[in-house]
């Protein structure tokens, strides 16, 4: 855990919310040297200290009404609550790392109100369905992580309000047909990697999807 970052080098200004969305509270936990989401409560205590006469003096659960979360430029690896146990600096075993849903539910009043989240510049390899707890999510930045399995992106297509998605700087970006695949499985996304999805790209993706439809949907049997 570090101290609150003074300079934002994440490039988030390229994908920050509209003026209408900016009225919602923003939780900034960037540049906090977090290696695990187990540190979220400590980071919130440092970045958004409680106030008032009877305010707590130690990190703990909060009930903040934030709808924008910045977790960029840390060293977070695990979002799904799996993997090796977390060991603190004193050598104490803290158990398995919490999932993104669990960690944020300890500090945010209502996860269904989260509209955008920045997880860029971390060490994330797998995200699974960890964003399903955020049905209002409109902007998701996963830039510059270690995501290598393109099939994971299909889960993001289940988010009903996702409009802006950033995945560049991950190994999946080097995959053949990367952009066509993402446009196909996330049809509601209008901006991918800071670039507007054009009608021509959608037509190209539709043709690509028809050609590779059996690979996209292996569970469907070939029609006779």
179 lies in some domain: no
194 lies in some domain: no
What is the reported pLDDT for 24?
A: 53
For the cut 80, the answer to whether the pLDDT of residue 33 exceeds it is yes
Q: What percent of the chain has a predicted confidence (pLDDT) above 70? A: 82
In degrees, rounded to 5, the angle at the alpha carbon of residue 67 between the alpha carbons of residues 66 and 73 is 90
Return d(Cα 211, Cα 208) in angstroms, integer. 5
17 lies in some domain: yes
What is the reported pLDDT for 8?
A: 41
What is the reported pLDDT for 217?
A: 67
104 lies in some domain: yes
118 lies in some domain: yes
Average pLDDT taken over every residue of the chain: 85
Per-residue pLDDT tens for 63-112?
898 999 999 999 999 999 887 777 777 677 677 889 999 999 999 999 99
Please provide the DSSP assignment of 88-157 as one string: -TT--B--SPPBHHHHHHTTBS-GGG--EEE--SS-----TTTTTT-TT--EEE--SS----GGGGGGGG
What is the reported pLDDT for 219?
A: 53
Domain that holds residue 137: 12-146
How does residue 15 score in pLDDT terms, banded at 50, 70 and 90? Answer: very low
Query: What do you get for the CA distance between the two ends of the chain, in Å?
Result: 59
193 lies in some domain: no
Per-residue pLDDT tens for 121-136?
999 999 999 999 999 9
How does residue 189 score in pLDDT terms, banded at 50, 70 and 90? Answer: very high
133 lies in some domain: yes
How many domains does the chain fold into? 1
98 lies in some domain: yes
Least confident of 79-88, 165-174, 177-186: 79-88
For the cut 50, the answer to whether the pLDDT of residue 218 exceeds it is yes
């Amino acid at each position: 855990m570090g101290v609150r970052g003074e300079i934002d080098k994440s490039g988030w200004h390229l994908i920050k919310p509209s003026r209408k969305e900016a009225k919602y509270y923003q939780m900034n936990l960037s540049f906090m040297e977090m290696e695990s989401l187990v540190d979220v409560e400590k980071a919130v205590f440092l970045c958004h200290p409680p106030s008032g006469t009877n305010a707590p003096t130690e990190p703990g659960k909060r009930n903040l009404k934030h709808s924008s979360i910045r977790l960029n430029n840390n060293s977070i690896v695990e979002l799904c609550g799996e993997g090796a146990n977390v060991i603190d600096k004193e050598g104490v075993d803290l158990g398995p790392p919490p999932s993104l849903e669990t960690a944020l539910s300890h500090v945010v009043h209502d996860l269904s109100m989260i509209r955008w989240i920045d997880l860029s510049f971390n060490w994330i390899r797998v995200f699974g369905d960890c964003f399903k707890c955020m049905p209002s999510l409109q902007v998701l930045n996963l830039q510059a992580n270690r995501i290598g399995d393109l099939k994971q992106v299909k889960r993001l297509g289940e988010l009903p309000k996702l409009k802006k998605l950033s995945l560049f700087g991950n190994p999946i970006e080097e995959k053949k047909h990367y952009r066509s695949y993402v446009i196909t499985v996330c049809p509601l996304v209008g901006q991918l990697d800071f670039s507007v999805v054009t009608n021509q790209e959608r037509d190209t993706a539709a043709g690509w999807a028809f050609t590779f439809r059996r690979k996209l949907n292996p569970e469907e049997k070939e029609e006779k």
